[in-house]
Amino acid sequence: EDKVVQSPLSLVVHEGDTVTLNCSYEVTNFRSLLWYKQEKKAPTFLFMLTSSGIEKKSGRLSSILDKKELFSILNITATQTGDSAVYLCAVEAHSGAGSYQLTFGKGTKLSVIP
């Protein structure tokens, strides 16, 4: 059974801190890893990673994938209160017969306090 584990489950930091969120996975027929930010209800897409060692960057957020060690990290530098959210990691894998399955982790709840 495919498994995605995120750590920590929750994190409280002060504005300006840098945080690193972790996502490890065990899946068969890995295709891609995705990060989402869920503030209130609707998760919004952050990054899709398919290749090892290539950093994806968007403003203060960056992410990298290690397909050998089966994990990804999401970094947020100079955190702001608006970064407070649940960060979801999901792994896409082939599930046979041309179909694909997306398995989500439980998420990391980040709280940034002023």
59 binds other proteins (CB under 8 A): no
Q: Does 92 bind other proteins (CB under 8 A)?
A: yes
Distance CA 86, CA 96 (A): 30
* Residues 15-54 contacting other proteins, CB under 8 A: 31-32, 34, 36, 40-45, 48
- Window contacting other proteins (CB under 8 A); options: 18-26, 58-66, 68-76, 95-103: 95-103
Task: Give 110's contacts (C-beta < 8 A, 6+ positions apart).
Answer: 10, 11, 13, 19, 21, 76, 79, 83, 84, 85, 86, 87
Long-range contacts of 95-98 (CB under 8 A, 24+ apart): 95/29
Q: How far is the CB of 34 from other proteins (least distance, A)?
A: 6
**DSSP-assigned beta bridge partners for residue 47:** 35
Is 62 or 103 the residue whose CB approaches other proteins more closely?
103
Residue number, 40 or 68, with CB nearest to other proteins: 40
Residue 83 main-chain phi, psi, to 5 deg: -85, -10
> Which residues sit at the interface with other proteins, rule CB under 8 A?
4, 31-32, 34, 36, 40-45, 48, 88, 90, 92, 98-107
